[in-house]
Amino acid sequence: MFNEYAALIKGLTYRHIGCELTELQVNQLCQFGDLLLEWNQRLNLTRIIDPQEVILKHFIDSMVLAKFIQGIHLADLGTGAGFPGIPLKILRPELKVVLIDSLKKRLDFLDVVIEKLDLQDINTIHARAEDFGRDRKYRKYFDTVSSRAVARLPILLEYALPVLKIKGRFLAAKGLQADQELAESGKALKILGGMSEGIEHFNLGSSAEHRAVILIRKVGQTPSQYPRKAGTPSKSPIV
């Protein structure tokens, strides 16, 4: 089905991202779209099922983050159906990507996507974000962490900053509430070792809602007691 929209994928990527996709990359995105809609019938992965909307609101919306990535080690927290992690990996194949989610069925889907698309240096981890952040293997490991529509920023900071290297960057993809969420996050940033680098707003056209990405730099060590045990950050955010 998505092969019918190959020209649209190429055109929108060039217009919004400034990148000329290869035939392989277009084919991988088409395969991903087909698998997403096929599995969505069983798993309810996304409420967006129109192919043109999937392309704009999932693929392009994910790939917009590419220009803010630093280094090659990327963790996508609460990846869900693979956004933004899978489109970013397709666009930037040199990235070494870890997709984290607490729902095993979603990761089963993503394992199939990774195999079918023959993606290398990408793997899934079944874990709560709090448990992932306490894993010594991954703590202070990543150059960049991304998260899209998982939780409000003060909560996300407690998930993301522990696994970032010093000088690493957190990309929090948001909508209209970005300014308000950043304003709520001063205490969490101070405690967890983060610093705001501002908010980048972008427009994907009249058919897409307002989008923004909050850029956070890790400038100090995150105290060892963070993240707190699973469920605590969402019930009692640092505000």
Task: Tell me: is residue 92 an annotated ligand-binding position.
Answer: no
228 is in an annotated binding site: no
Classify 119 as helix, strand or coil.
Answer: coil
Is residue 78 a known part of a binding site?
A: yes
**Residues ≥6 apart with Cβ < 8 Å to 81:** 36, 40, 45, 46, 58, 106, 109, 110
Task: Tell me if 62 sits within 8 A of 148, measured CB to CB.
Answer: yes
Taking the C-alpha atoms of residue 199 and residue 168, their distance in angstroms, rounded to an integer, is: 16
Distance, CA of 155 to CA of 185 (rounded, Å): 9
Q: Yes or no: say if 1 and 34 are a contact pair by the CB < 8 Å rule.
A: yes
188 marked as binding residue = no
Contacts of 29 (CB under 8 A, 6+ apart): 2, 9, 21, 55, 59, 87, 90
7 annotated ligand-binding residue: no
Binding site feature residues for S-adenosyl-L-methionine: 78, 83, 129-130, 148
Binding site feature residues: 78, 83, 129-130, 148
